[in-house]
């Protein structure tokens, strides 16, 4: 058999049949310390229309910047049960919301800690492959030097950084725009 | 600093382009700017490690989730989950979903005028074993019409979702059936430019897993990305 990766195909319009059972929008369970934060937003298509049939998957480190097993072999405290995985479908208005703890800095390609971030996969009808993006946290001194963030053109970096809401503490807003002027930065993972 | 695993990128043409105009839904949803190549850090080379306890022991058998048996042709769908170097990927969650034998999904958005089957939900899960093997028992799904173009019908297919060991290996795909005349006309199947890559989405009929008096067997192996042992960047 060839060692080529099996081609991706779209999740189609009915993925909720097979994927809803693993929905998880509260990632705080098992977290050992860390700042609790709720992140909400919308997914918008090329006409600015909300996408009601999308699904986000999240992967993040804990407040100390460490990932759950197995590849992160750095020593972790025994209490640590933080899992770091989320799966959140959009609702009929194209909105999503999840609650988590702000991750710590994970070592980057240059060995320095990356700015805190959440790995995000987007699935939906119309996407033949998943989209990969990252969510960064605002007001982080590490943002300016973040290796990955700096790979994006300067004028587009803001699409990867969630915005604080003036009247709602511990809540951030982050929209995903598939196309258009403010198209979110997506990565080839 | 710890050694950094990297995953190889697919060869050109072996994965679909995001924008594939014959698939109408891609037009307003595919990003238009070039993707930015993401270096592989721990964020990409780690991934969720699910406990097998989250899956019910019988979740692999889609024909036994209700009081009665579903209508249609019972089949065994099995195969191996491998990495790009031919090594088995053990202990990986595999999710599937599909239409029933009449080509109807149990979903409120599916308006196809075909009957639902009270004995069929169309979802299953399992984990790969130590050899990377998985096995489902299900019903052969029907073809169904969709509105992509005039007289459009999707070939029979089963959706597969697998995680593998890392964020970078996450894969959702569809398994097709050998000899399906609709494949030739399907823009989703044909979104993969290279024919040899595309054909690997088609399962093969398998005597070895065909069960006498019970079910035909189809084999579908899934290959995840292989790893590079390249030195650290910079």
* CATH code for the domain in which residue A69 is found: 2.60.130.10
Residue-level pLDDT at B1: 44
- Report which of residues B52 and B231 the model is more confident about: B52
| Residue A136 within any structural domain of the chain | yes
**pLDDT-based confidence at residue A29 (cuts at 50, 70, 90):** confident
Q: What is the CA radius of gyration of chain B?
A: 19
Going along chain A, which residue ranges are E strands?
Answer: 36-44, 54-59, 85-89, 95-101, 117-124, 131-136, 163-165, 168-173, 176-177, 187-188
Domain extent at residue A89 = 20-177
Closest Cβ opposite residue A119 in set B29, B43, B106:
B43
ipTM of the complex: 0.95
| Count of domains for chain B | 1
| Residue A79 within any structural domain of the chain | yes
| Residue B215 within any structural domain of the chain | yes
- Report which of residues A109 and A123 the model is more confident about: A123
| Residue B108 within any structural domain of the chain | yes
- Is the predicted pLDDT of residue A69 greater than 70, yes or no? no
Residue-level pLDDT at B233: 43
Cβ <8 Å between A1 and B82: yes
Residue-level pLDDT at A110: 81
Question: How many cross-chain Cβ pairs, A to B, lie less than 8 Å apart?
Answer: 247
Tell me if chain B has a CB within 8 Å of the CB of A147. yes
- Return the residue in A1, A2, A3, A5 with the most chain B beta carbons within 10 A, the one to mutate for interface testing: A5
d(CA B9, CA B56): 34
**What are the catalytic residues of B?**
105, 144, 154, 157, 159
Domain extent at residue B172 = 56-128+139-225
Cβ <8 Å between B106 and A17: yes
| Residue B25 within any structural domain of the chain | no
Closest Cβ opposite residue A123 in set B31, B110, B172:
B172
- Is the predicted pLDDT of residue A125 greater than 90, yes or no? yes
Cβ <8 Å between B46 and A111: no
Give me the mean pLDDT over the A14-25 stretch. 98
Residue-level pLDDT at B78: 98
Closest Cβ opposite residue B23 in set A6, A71, A128:
A128
Residue-level pLDDT at A81: 72
Give me the mean pLDDT over the A64-75 stretch. 71
The CATH number of the domain holding residue B95 is: 2.60.130.10
Residue-level pLDDT at A1: 44
- Is the predicted pLDDT of residue A82 greater than 90, yes or no? no
Closest Cβ opposite residue B26 in set A69, A126, A130:
A126
Distance from CA of B201 to the nearest CA of A (A): 7
Pick the residue from chain B with its C-alpha nearest to A13. Answer: B109
Distance from CA of A15 to the nearest CA of B (A): 7
Give me the mean pLDDT over the B41-63 stretch. 95
pLDDT in tens, A107-122: 998 889 999 999 999 9
Chain A neighbors of B31, CB-CB under 8 A: 131, 178-179, 183-184, 186
- Report which of residues A24 and A32 the model is more confident about: A24
Closest to A119 (Cα-Cα) out of B159, B166, B173, B221: B166
* Structural tokens at position A48: 């600015």
Structure pTM? Answer: 0.95
| Residue A186 within any structural domain of the chain | no
**pLDDT-based confidence at residue A28 (cuts at 50, 70, 90):** very high
Distance from CA of B52 to the nearest CA of A (A): 13
Give me the mean pLDDT over the B12-27 stretch. 97
Tell me if chain B has a CB within 8 Å of the CB of A105. no
Residue-level pLDDT at A31: 81
d(CA B214, CA B164): 31
| Residue B49 within any structural domain of the chain | no
| Residue A82 within any structural domain of the chain | yes
- Is the predicted pLDDT of residue B4 greater than 90, yes or no? no
pLDDT in tens, B170-229: 999 999 999 999 999 999 999 999 999 999 999 999 999 999 999 999 999 999 999 876
Distance from CA of A1 to the nearest CA of B (A): 8
- Is the predicted pLDDT of residue B128 greater than 50, yes or no? yes
Residue-level pLDDT at B193: 97
| Count of domains for chain A | 1
Cβ <8 Å between A6 and B222: yes
Average pLDDT, chain A: 93
| Residue B202 within any structural domain of the chain | yes
Tell me if chain B has a CB within 8 Å of the CB of A39. no
Contact at 8 Å (CB) between B44 and B119?
no
| Residue A11 within any structural domain of the chain | no
Distance from CA of A167 to the nearest CA of B (A): 32
Residue-level pLDDT at B228: 77
Chain B neighbors of A157, CB-CB under 8 A: none
Tell me if chain B has a CB within 8 Å of the CB of A136. no
Residue-level pLDDT at B203: 98
- Is the predicted pLDDT of residue B58 greater than 70, yes or no? yes
- Is the predicted pLDDT of residue B3 greater than 70, yes or no? no
Contact at 8 Å (CB) between B48 and A22?
no
Contact at 8 Å (CB) between B94 and B81?
yes
């Amino acid at each position: 058999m060839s060692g080529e990766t099996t081609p991706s195909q779209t999740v189609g319009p009915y993925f909720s049949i097979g994927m809803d059972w693993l929905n998880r929008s509260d990632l705080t369970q098992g977290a050992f310390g860390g700042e609790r934060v709720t992140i909400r937003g919308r997914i918008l298509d090329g006409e600015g229309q909300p996408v009601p049939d999308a699904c986000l998957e999240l992967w993040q480190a804990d407040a100390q910047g460490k990932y759950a097993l197995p590849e992160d072999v750095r020593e972790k405290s025994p209490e640590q049960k933080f899992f770091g995985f989320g799966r959140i479908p959009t609702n009929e208005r194209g909105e999503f919301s999840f609650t988590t703890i702000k991750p710590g800095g994970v070592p980057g390609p240059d060995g320095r800690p990356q700015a805190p971030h959440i790995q995000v996969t987007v699935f939906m009808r119309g996407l033949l492959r998943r989209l990969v993006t990252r969510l960064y946290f605002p007001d982080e001194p590490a943002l300016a030097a973040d290796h990955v963030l700096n790979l994006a053109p300067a004028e587009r970096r803001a699409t990867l950084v969630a915005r604080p809401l003036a009247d709602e503490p511990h809540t951030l807003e982050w929209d995903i725009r598939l196309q258009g002027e403010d198209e979110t930065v997506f990565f080839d993972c | 600093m710890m050694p950094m695993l990297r995953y190889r990128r697919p060869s050109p043409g072996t994965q679909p382009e995001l924008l594939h105009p014959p698939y109408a839904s891609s037009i307003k949803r595919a990003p238009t700017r070039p993707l930015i190549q993401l270096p592989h850090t721990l964020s990409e080379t780690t991934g969720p490690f699910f406990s097998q306890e989250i899956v019910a022991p019988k979740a692999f058998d889609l024909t036994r989730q209700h009081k009665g048996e579903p209508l249609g042709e019972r089949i065994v769908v099995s195969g191996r989950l491998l990495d790009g170097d031919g090594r088995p990927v053990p202990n990986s969650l595999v999710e599937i979903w599909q239409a029933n034998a009449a080509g109807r999904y149990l979903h409120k958005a599916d308006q196809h005028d075909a009957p639902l089957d009270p004995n069929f939900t169309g979802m299953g899960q399992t984990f790969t074993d130590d050899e990377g093997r998985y096995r489902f028992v299900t019903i052969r799904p029907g073809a169904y019409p969709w509105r992509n173009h005039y007289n459009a019908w999707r070939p029979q297919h089963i959706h597969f979702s697998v995680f593998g060991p890392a964020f970078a290996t996450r894969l959702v795909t569809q398994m097709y059936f050998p000899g399906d005349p609709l494949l030739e006309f399907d823009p989703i199947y044909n979104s993969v430019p290279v024919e040899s890559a595309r054909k690997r989405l088609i399962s093969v009929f398998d005597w070895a897993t065909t069960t006498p008096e019970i079910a035909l067997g189809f084999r579908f192996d899934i290959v995840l990305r292989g790893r590079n042992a390249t030195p650290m960047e910079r």
